A and B are shown apart, each in its own frame.
Chain A
Amino acid sequence: AQKVTQAQTEISVVEKEDVTLDCVYETRDTTYYLFWYKQPPSGELVFLIRRNSFDEQNEISGRYSWNFQKSTSSFNFTITASQVVDSAVYFCALSDMDSNYQLIWGAGTKLIIKP
């Protein structure tokens, strides 16, 4: 069965530090998609990135970067030079054929950036 594990329940760092949020997934399908969403204290879920299983190229967007490694079934998210505005709960999710392309969600990692 599909599963997404975000082992870090909460991470607290001081502003300007780099921080990595871990995401490990399980799926039997060879075609699948991985996602990261951000949920700030206001509550809305903001889409950050979607990656398909055939594209292992790492992605960088400003201070955000994603490291997709099929060999370890991981899709980790790194924030460089963190800022207070990065404080949020971050969710990793998986969709595949088995799930009929519904999202399988991780439990989320609460990131606290202290000034």
Chain B
Amino acid sequence: EADIYQTPRYLVIGTGKKITLECSQTMGHDKMYWYQQDPGMELHLIHYSYGVNSTEKGDLSSESTVSRIRTEHFPLTLESARPSHTSQYLCASSVPRGGRTDTQYFGPGTRLTVL
């Protein structure tokens, strides 16, 4: 069973606001990921990290940024939210330190609505 947490679960915010979506995992996983997904649709990788101080952009261009200062924490920030950012954001992690499996375990997601 995975221990990966996302807050908030739901967020409704006005255009232009700065927001940070939190993601934490307690499994000691090195790799972490952020996906963007419209409900029930395909997942799009927007950011990932191999470990502390590592961040990479994914396949889908995103105006968001991420940071990885601690192994367990991988927050995503939108400096100025827009209605086009309305979506579900899913955080995942994989690969315990020294391990080899790449099975990704997901948090419960944050449903963001920008008005």
Contacts and interface: CB of A to CB of B under 8 A. Distances in A.
- Chain B interface bracket (under 10, 10 to 19, 20 to 34, 35 or more): 20 to 34
Give chain A's interface secondary structure class.
strand
A101 B102 contact: yes
A43 B88 contact: yes
B108 A47 contact: no
The residue in A33, A35, A44, A50 that gathers the most chain B C-beta atoms within 10 A of its C-beta is: A44
A108 B108 contact: no
Given A43-B111, A102-B45, A110 B105 contact: no
Interface string A91-102: 100010000011
Contacts, number: 46
A62 B50 CA distance: 35
B109 A44 contact: yes
- Chain A interface bracket (under 10, 10 to 19, 20 to 34, 35 or more): 20 to 34
Contacts of A45: 43, 90, 92, 106
Interface of A: 33, 35, 37, 39, 42-47, 50, 89, 91, 95, 101-103, 105-108, 110
